């Protein structure tokens, strides 16, 4: 009887998960490294396994910090890229899925302006962090907002701690 219950449990949950997009760091890294390997874009002397290890090392701490569906959107996009295309297209597609009007989001634009102001003062941060206001889940996005309220010279260290 126990075996039957366990088998039913496995079959039900296996079937339920099969149609869901894979929103995992592992799947994202696999798709990205496959694309890089196919297009000859791996780092010098890097194997696909080393690409996976490096991606997972940087990505695992971020697992669970993204908006639901963000990694799945990136993962689904990579196989559609030609080698001539930039991987930025996938990032843009994923951002559009989360917020179709992300490029005109007032909070994003204010962040980009703050990055510019801080960079002009010589104590800047990359405006790439600003996109996190769109793709990060609530808690990490709120942490990013707190960083942006700091003086320019303190923002970079705060962002790195998120």
Condensed to tens digits (0 to 9), the pLDDT of residues 22-33 reads: 678 889 999 999
Which of 96, 100, 99, 130 lies closest to 113, judged by CA?
130
As a whole number of angstroms, the distance between CA 43 and CA 25 comes to 20
pLDDT tens digit sequence for 32-42: 999 999 999 99
**CB contact at 8 A, 76 and 21:** yes
As a whole number of angstroms, the distance between CA 135 and CA 45 comes to 32
Least confident range of 61-75, 118-132, 144-158: 61-75
As a whole number of angstroms, the distance between CA 81 and CA 39 comes to 10
The β-bridge partners of 66 are: 136
Determine if the pTM surpasses 0.85: no
| pLDDT above 50 for 18 | no
Confidence bin at 14 (pLDDT 50/70/90)? very low
Averaged pLDDT for residues 83-87: 92
Mean pLDDT (the chain) is: 84
pLDDT tens digit sequence for 118-142: 999 999 899 999 999 999 999 999 9
As a whole number of angstroms, the distance between CA 115 and CA 113 comes to 5
Q: What is the pLDDT of residue 162?
A: 84
H helix runs in 19-137, sequence order: 25-38, 48-59, 70-77, 88-98, 106-120, 132-135
Confidence bin at 8 (pLDDT 50/70/90)? very low
| 3-state DSSP assignment of residue 40 | coil
**CB contact at 8 A, 132 and 141:** yes
């Amino acid at each position: 009887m126990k075996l039957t219950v366990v088998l039913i449990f496995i079959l039900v949950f296996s079937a339920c998960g099969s149609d869901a997009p894979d929103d995992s760091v592992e799947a994202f890294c696999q798709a990205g490294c496959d694309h890089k390997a196919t297009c000859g874009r791996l780092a010098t002397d890097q194997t696909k396994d080393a690409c996976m290890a490096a991606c997972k090392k940087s990505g695992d701490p971020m697992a669970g910090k993204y908006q639901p569906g963000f990694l799945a959107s990136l993962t689904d996009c990579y196989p559609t890229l030609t080698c001539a295309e930039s991987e930025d297209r996938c990032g843009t597609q994923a951002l559009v899925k989360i917020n179709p009007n992300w490029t005109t989001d007032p909070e994003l634009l204010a962040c980009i302006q703050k990055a510019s102001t801080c960079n002009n003062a010589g104590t800047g941060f990359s405006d790439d962090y600003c996109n996190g206001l769109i793709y990060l889940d609530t808690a990490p996005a709120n942490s990013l907002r707190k960083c942006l309220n700091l003086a320019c010279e303190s923002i970079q260290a705060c962002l790195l701690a998120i």
